[in-house]
A and B are shown apart, each in its own frame.
Chain A
Amino acid sequence: MKKFITLLVVFCTLLGTCIGAVSAQKVIPDELTIGMISTISGEQALDGVNMTDAIRLVQKELEEAGGLNVDGKMVKIKWQIEDCEAKPEIAVNAAQKLIEQDKVIAIVGPNNSSDTIASAEISQSAKIPHITNTGTNEAVTKVGDYVFRACIIDPFQGKVVAQFAYDDLNVRKAAVIYNNADTYSAGLAKAFIDAFTHLGGEVVANEAFSGADVKDFSAQLTKIKNANPEAVFVPTHHTNVPLILQQIRGMGIESTLLGCDSWDYAVLPELVGLDIIEGAYYVTGFSPDAETAKEFVDAFTELAGYRPSFCSAMAYEAAHIVLNAIQNAETIDGPGVRDAMMKTSLDLPSGHVTFDENRNPIKAGVVLQVIDGVAQYVTSVTPAE
């Protein structure tokens, strides 16, 4: 009996510690918390830094303005950043924590589709609006009507690349190398292949590798080299891009290189090698050269010390979409902010943003070309349906 009581005490203490350690905080009416989930650790830690810096910029802007002006009242905005290690189950925990513990009004992030799908299920059932910055997979916003995104979607992006390659670069034979363990990569590859063959082009080699930890692509690239394509499309996460591009050139494949929005990091050209990436094209949803982006790019570069990536730009935009919705919401709670987000009509660095009925922003794809290690604006493409 004594032992049993000891056991019960031990159990209750354990329970108590875990409740005590994460005790709920009091919500002050003139302060609001917005959550952000990001990959602070894990393979994609670079995204975490990019997103955190974007949020720091937003925070700085808010501090300078003295808070967020909601109907004349300055509301203090607090940002709560949580790590998801690029693991869906940790993302779920993070979302639960933000909603339950920090009582957030909305969630920004995470930066990849799998984590977003997993964590958005939580926000959806708690009726908390959730906007991912770079979760580009089509399925993300299908989770429910509280899930938004700030970026363009994969099928759209694939179409943009295909159309740009076919019309502007006159490519007729293309090859694709992608990561079949990754939603983002596989989705883009499929979208590109469908659109490109639909336009009348031929995909002469379609090669997959599995897992982010594959480092040697010689076998796949040998096949691509033998197929002799005019352009190679490399829709993979930035962690794989440098090695693939280096090996493409290292094997003597001289085709034009085509990429996707996860190429858009200021450090990437240097990582790949300036001579290797020179002349490569990639599609993204944001051009740092655009007139609308100038103010943001300057402020960000001053604060963070590097040019904003697509990931930071979209985190910045997502944050502003949420802030704007809070300003316009009829009631400041999940459903109210969600309804206001649906009506978003806002001028942001990437241009004017509105949402369609699937909560995807209506934007044109932007094609950039890497010249002397810096991505330069080439053209904007809106693919024909």
Chain B
Amino acid sequence: MKWLKNNSEKVAIPLVFVALWLLKYFGVINNYLLQILMLAGVNIIMTESLNLVNGVTGQNSIGHAGFMAVGAYISALFTDIIFNVSDMPLIPQTALFLLATIIGGIIAAVFGYLIGMPTLRLRGDYLAIVTLGFGEVIRAIIRITPFVGAARGMMGIPKLANLFWIYLFVILALYVCRNFIDSSYGRACMAIRDNEIAANTLGINVSRYKIIAFVTSAFMAGVAGSMFAHTMRYLHPDIFSYIKSTDFLVYLYAGGVGSISGAFLGGFVLTILPEILRFMQEWRLVIYGALLLIIILFRPQGLFGGKEFSWLKLKTGGIHQMGLKDLLGRKKMIKKEASAEETSQ
């Protein structure tokens, strides 16, 4: 029992999957719900990946869909064009799919490094502009590349991603994020987020840690892209426009920035919300926009209140209370300390 208490996630994670699988098996989850759940999974990975940059390291990436596009196109190129995977038996098919996913992630990470290396050395919001630009440039290049379908889009990608793989990758993403935050890298990144100058004086190699976080994040975005490609089976450059990047930002901040669980729930709830609102017809996105505003105004720490799932067992104290409210609280504290110093002088 004690073991169960301490390792609840080792039981719970497979159990949730079995539950989902049974629901699917008995037809409670039909293909429509399955599709939404899978898209939600992809969005969760993306939101977690964005959280590493925006939430943990305190940098602003507002063009994350660009990395997703790289991962999606590279992996689809691999499974669809270089190897025609759809005619293969299951095992090599799966192996190639995983390989394609990893390669998609690696190429996205390479792009992340190329972008992050020059920009993250600078202080300020330059990453925002550069990532925004990157997303647009990638799109412009895909549009004129004939062998990935150019403006017509890439069609007939084999449907290799299923509930199992997406579930697995979501869980992996959660654990990667948790372990990252819980490591010395994560602590360094959080120190940078909290006060870059102070972190620098403490001997943290600021740009190195920023780049590590950014590259990891780009890798995850590439993996999410591969999942997206093999779920949707159709890629079009305009899917990955800045509107898509904005969506992920919205998921992250509505869910609770800086918190793994917040990012998870933001991605999950906000993917499902527009589908639930389908009966509203043309008022659908009006309500969506209004709800978003209400969340930001009245629930500043995000939907999930900046708390963490306890099974993630994050030992770093800060993250437990890491919502915007606390960002604010910290600033107040700094001010208080400053004023206290002044009065003592």
A positions within 8 Å CB-CB of B = 1, 3-4, 7-8, 11-12, 14-15, 17-19, 21-22, 24, 40-41, 81-83, 85, 87-89, 92-93, 96-97, 99-101, 113-114, 117-118, 121-122, 125-126, 137, 139, 143, 180-183, 185-187, 210
B293 interface hit (Cβ, 8 Å): no
Q: Name B242-284 residues within 8 Å CB distance of A.
A: 268-269, 272, 275-276, 278, 281-282, 284
- Whether A4 lies near B30 (C-beta < 8 A) is no
**Interface-facing stretch out of B91-99, B118-126, B229-237, B327-335:** B229-237
- Whether B152 lies near A187 (C-beta < 8 A) is yes
- Whether B151 lies near A182 (C-beta < 8 A) is yes
> Which of A4, A15, A87 lies in contact with B239, CB distance below 8 A?
A87
17 A/B residue pairs, CB under 8 Å, sorted by A: A1-B5, A4-B311, A7-B12, A8-B16, A12-B19, A18-B33, A41-B284, A85-B285, A87-B239, A92-B232, A101-B30, A113-B152, A121-B155, A139-B152, A143-B156, A180-B151, A181-B143
Given A21-B276, A24-B30, A88-B232: A8 and B12 interface contact (C-beta under 8 Å): yes
- Whether B32 lies near A97 (C-beta < 8 A) is yes
B positions within 8 Å CB-CB of A = 4-5, 8, 12, 16, 19, 23, 28-33, 35-36, 39, 139-140, 143-144, 150-153, 155-156, 159, 232-234, 236-239, 268-269, 272, 275-276, 278, 281-282, 284-285, 309-311
> Which of B4, B23, B152 lies in contact with A183, CB distance below 8 A?
B152
Given A89-B39, A100-B31, A143-B155: A117 and B234 interface contact (C-beta under 8 Å): yes
Q: Which residues of B contact A89 (CB under 8 A)?
A: 39, 232, 239
Q: Which residues of B contact A97 (CB under 8 A)?
A: 32, 275, 278
> Which of A11, A14, A114, A137 lies in contact with B238, CB distance below 8 A?
A114
Q: How far is the CB of A11 from chain B (nearest CB, A)?
A: 7
Given A1-B5, A82-B278: A19 and B28 interface contact (C-beta under 8 Å): yes
- Whether A7 lies near B309 (C-beta < 8 A) is yes
What's the Cα separation between A96 and B159 when bound, in Å?
A: 15
- Whether B238 lies near A181 (C-beta < 8 A) is yes
- Whether B8 lies near A96 (C-beta < 8 A) is no
What's the Cα separation between A81 and B278 when bound, in Å?
A: 10
- Whether B310 lies near A40 (C-beta < 8 A) is no
> Which of A7, A22, A92, A185 lies in contact with B33, CB distance below 8 A?
A22
- Whether B32 lies near A96 (C-beta < 8 A) is yes
